[in-house]
Amino acid sequence: MRAPKKWESYGNVLPCCAQGRPWLWAHVGHVPSFEKYMEVGELEVASCMTIAGIFMSLGKMATKEAVDWLKSRPKFVKTLCIKSRLMNDIAGFEDDMSRGYVVNSVNCYMKQYGVTEEEAFKGT
């Protein structure tokens, strides 16, 4: 069974995810600047896909305009993605570190600003 044609555009909501930059950074042990990480990391978090899923569940009520609105990354969506990325990174920081995954907003902030883990939690 194939998804309705209008739903095909939902797959294009997060084109940056396909680039896999956070994975590549982690693979080579590179910790980017906080700003660069957030630029990519906010797109990687699933907030936009959750909104897209909600639109899909609306059936005929979800319009092409709704998809276009989401793809335009309005301030509300961008802010939601940033907050989601930060909450995810803070909540999973210890687990990430125990697995050797150093590419997260907390580490990027610590490296860029030369602060402690506690200060980074407050600063992010």
pTM over 0.85: no
* CA 115-106-29 angle, 5° bins: 100
Strand, helix or coil at 53? helix
Place of tokens 């990325």: 85
Residue 34, pLDDT score = 95
Q: Which of 104, 108, 48, 49 is nearest to 79 (CA)?
A: 48
pLDDT by position in tens, the chain (length 124): 444 555 455 455 544 443 557 777 877 888 999 999 998 888 877 788 888 888 888 888 888 888 888 888 899 989 999 999 999 999 999 999 999 888 999 999 999 999 999 999 998 8
φ/ψ of 96, rounded to 5, equals: -55, -45
Rg (CA), the chain: 17
